[in-house]
Amino acid sequence: MPRPKGSKNKVKNLKGHSAADYAAALAEKNAEKDQLNGEISAIMAQITELKEQLKSKKAAVKSTDKAIEKLQEKLSAEQAKEAQQAHKAEIDSAVQKLITNGVSVEEILEKLQ
């Protein structure tokens, strides 16, 4: 079979198409492009709004974290104070037991050191 002449990449002129057809297709594609650009701008506006919301939420979380940290510090200080008071009460009760058993104050001081 003989090889066909001409390039396969050659633009073929289709019969029945006119400049009006191309103009209509071009107008349709331009309208589609405008619609897509409108959607893009709407999405970008939503993204901007969401970024602002995210920024405010992060600031709220940061302030909440600071408040939590302060409360934890107060809690640990209060627990340390209670532990110290409990230890002091324990020492006082031990000293009272030793005094009731007839141990002298000097011996008690030696045991505490």
Are 98 and 108 in contact, with CB atoms under 8 Å apart? yes
> What is this structure's pTM?
0.53
Q: Residue 46 — pLDDT band, cuts 50, 70, 90?
A: very high
The pLDDT of residue 22 is above 70? yes
For the record, the structure tokens of 13 come out as 């002129």
Summarize pLDDT for 48-106 with one digit per residue, the tens.
999 999 999 999 999 999 999 999 999 999 999 999 999 999 888 888 888 888 777 77
**How far apart (Å, rounded) are the C-alpha atoms in residues 65 and 62?**
5
Q: Which one-letter amino acid corresponds to residue 13?
A: N
pLDDT for the residue 15: 60
pLDDT for the residue 98: 80
